Structure 1
Amino acid sequence: MKQQIDFVNCSFHEFYKILSVLFYKVFFLLLIGYVSFFLSSYQCFGQSKIEERKLTYAKDVYRDAILKKDSLLLAEAYYLLGKWEFNTKRSYLRSKMWYIKSLNILEKKPLIYESGRIHVRLSECEQSLGNYIQSFFHCYKAISIHQIINSQKGLIIAYVHLAKLHSYNWSTTNGITVATHLDSAVFYLNKAEALAKLTDDKEAIKQIGLDKGQIHLEDFDNYAKAGYKQLDSEPEEDKYTTLALATLHHFKAKLLNNNLEEAKLLLDKADRLFHEKCPLSMEVNILLQACNALYAVKRGDWINAYNYQVKLTELEKRKLSDDRASLLKLLGSANESSNQELLLEAQKQELVLQTENFKRQNNLFYIVVTLSLLLLGSAIVFYILFRKYRKVSNQNAVLVREQSHRLKNNLQALSDLLHLQSNRLKDSKVKQAVEEIQLRVEAMTTLHKLLYNGNQLAMVPLPDFLAEVAEIVLHSFDCKNVELSINIPDVYLTPTQALPLGLILNELTTNSCKYAFPNNPSPKYAINISIEKEILTMIIEDNGQTDFSEKVNLDKPKSFGLQLIQMQVMQLYGSYSLLFKKGMYFELSFQIR
């Protein structure tokens, strides 16, 4: 104020008048800024359902790109996800990340409109992050690309964005002090408008006119009147929100020019549009309350201004609560989006693993089938061979049994012949020799009889064989009073080992019957066999009184019986000893085969 005020002499009424004017101007400027903020940001409110549909569409595009393996479609999906992050969540860094991923794909292709479009979006991200140089760099890069490919639509978008960069208040971001250049903003808007008129893009013309009106709000009619009138005369169904916002811009212009009547008409028109044609949301109510408060302040109607301000405060509290709930929901959607991407990648890897597992399972199935067929074929061959072998084995068993039976019969016939012949002999020595031969034949006959009657085809039960041999000899010499002791384990031997034992026992028993048992009041005869570590030891004893130790020479035996015993021991690859002190003591050891 140029007039000097003398606070001492001025009246209380003048002082109150001055304070009222100052308060009015400050409050009016605050409301103007408040309304400007809502007008510039309203288009981002009340769009949650639309943004959810956009996110769903972006996910569908991403899924199709993965399935079709289309890199251009994948770049488009990344672009849509970045745009959703920017418009809905205001997550500029994540939005920038999606745009860069899309640009990395497109840079490998020839220059196309989408490349320049992404640079414009990157410029918006850098502007929001306060990066002055990078923002202008991407914008000029977009202009360069659109000039090369001669895309007038792309140039219009790039010029409009460049105008916004020149009119942006950079001094409020990250402490960077950069002056706004409104003349440069208008210059690039004029270039964009010229291209829009050249291509007859009416929508672009209207929007450029409104942008000019926002730059020069006090001269709104000169810059935006044509676009506003065209919107007002031919409003499309989906452009009512733009018309309502433009009407409020026009209201602000009339209010600044103190044209209260026309401002009131424009305010009522915007209120009517919002209530009848546009979605009435919390943001709309706040915007209208702020405009009504601004109009009341301009008229000096402080009571209504205060009432509108109270309603405005209540609506803002409710809006903050709703924004908090929406933010939590968006955070959940963001996590779901990230998880969905990870899930898709995991599903892709799982699909690859399932394919590999399927191939392995097929290969394993073929291997198992092949091995099963081979096993089945081998089993059939083995079964045939087993049947053949069992048949041959049964035939061989029959032949062996028949052979043993015939041999037993032959030996028995030979024994009978020897018995008949011995009965006719009168010479006692010859008769004794024939009888001894008969006993030896009887031993062999016993062996073959056991072979024929036994359960095991080629094995001789040693206890039965030796006991029967000893009893035959004792019976032949009529030694009924001999106390016979036999201790033989249950063991089976082959005929090649059993027969020598039988012949040895036959010779020793014959010798005891001839020399030890006669004139012996209590004759005893013992046969003991033990087996340890596959070594068989046979001990034969009697209690005869005759001492033959001086007459027997084991190194050079003279009697046929001792020679026969020595031959059988050699056949067994064993060792033996024979003593005649207080009875006969014979010990034989050999290894069982």
Structure 2
Amino acid sequence: MVTCQHYILLLLLLVSARSTIAQSSAGLPLQPEKLAYAKEVEQEALTKNDTLLMAEAYYLYGKIHVNARDYLTAKRYFLKSLRIVEQRRQFDKISRIYSRLSWLEREQTNLTKQLEYAQTALTYARLGTQKSLMAAFQSMSDTYLTICYDSLVINRKHPLEDSLFYYAKQSEQIAYKLKDSISVAGVSTMLAKVYGFQRKPQAFHYYQIALRIYTALNQTYRQVIIGQQMAQTYLQFNQPDKAYPLLQQASVLYHSITSREFEVEKDFASSYMQYYQQKGDWEKAFEQLLKVRGYERDQMMADRNGAVSRLSFEYDTKKKERQLKSQRRELQLSQQNQRTQHWLLVVLSALLLGTAGTSIAFYRISRKNKRLSQQNAALVQEQNHRVKNNLQLISSLLSLQSNRLGDESARNAVEDSQRRIEVMSLLQRKLYDGDNLVTVNVADFVPELVNMVLEAFEQEQVEVEYQMEPVVMLPVDSMMRVGLIMNELITNACKYAFPDNPKPTLQITAYIMHKTFHMRVIDNGPGFMNTNAPIRSFGLRLIQMQVEQLFGTYRFEKNGSFQFDMTFTLFPPSPFRIETKISKVP
């Protein structure tokens, strides 16, 4: 058996080593019949000028794009629908949309937002009907299932597991009260899955309930899903002989329907792989494993292409919007300048009439100039706001891509890129929230950046000592490069210096002397490079490029700890210096 396992491992490595030629894998198409119905509802809403009907059309469009896995567009439609039903105080519909938004956040692994939307859905559902309340309880139980999932898989008690069962039982109770068989089947399926994770036989009782309902309603597709899940549960109980007939029956049913679902076929391959593993048939298990790998690769390519196309579309749309707004602003400024010139001529003419006319005219001109200055400041604020939103969008897309990647090195590379984007986003937020639009205070920016990186690597226990002047203002461009350098250094420390360090520490020094900015970063780790070796890693190359752009110098030292020093000259001279203070952050 060991020899077979080694053989499989060798083949896997060979398969993984092959050059992966990218296949054009477009996103899932929109369902034409549902799209046609949504357009009919939208046209009827326009004809009748019915806002509630228009909200329903937006909701239908959102569901259609969910099925196509275009979550960004789906969320836009749900939010459009939400704005209308909130104004009309349609509590059931409000709750329904928040439940949908909670599901979308689950698909993008944002547990905090998922729970927030589910709780909001429950709040509105308490003001509506019993059916709405049942759906909200179901959304809450789904949320807690997501939170407890990792613990359930390894059969370990989670602190929030009681909440999961509470909301599931509440939903089940209302479903039986309303005699809503579909909802009974849905909540029974979820309870069966949870009991299956816990290795409890109650799982099969709930699966049988769901299967009877779907069989009575002649819902073949749902019967396939239940058959798959029951077989998977038997495999979790290490009973492959009971799982195989269910897989065979589900497969026959699946091929009797015309539609094909990517996830269903992937689950079939995964279940058959586990079955053959438990039976010791390694050759067939390997064949199924290759199918699973193929499905995962196709899914990754589809997600990547969809994310890239949506990002490109978003970028082009935002770019056009900025161009149009810029043109309108320029036209308004031109018109205002013409009016200002007109008033200037009036003022010059009024000079002949006396001092009183001159004073009034100059007063009007000063007011106009003040408004122009305020508008220019508003333009800069709006630009910063747009940039911040675009950076947040890119970071979210990178997070989505990272969660889909199976290769550890690829996921680390994407996560490193995401953190660099977050450094830029943090700087934009400082500009947007502050009063100064051209400079940033180092003492405000650096600690927040350090905390952000430490939290990302779960290294909050690191003791950080800051030696920085309270007011050291750097231009935005210089601060951006300093922030990228700082991000690379702290990231390196979290990867190599802190994991096996019983008492990790970090020292950060920043000050200005004789028009020169000095920065030093020290960690008590072993270091990560030979300072005399050529630079090969992307992080080190990035540090070198940023220092060169600042026309500065830098060096690394290893003397029982790892130390980085950097200096560069400020243009123009820096603001005044204040006495140095030392602060410690636990």
Q: TM-score normalised to the size of structure 1? A: 0.43
Question: Looking at both structures, which has the greater relative contact order when contacts are Cα pairs under 8 Å and sequence separation is at least 6?
Answer: 2
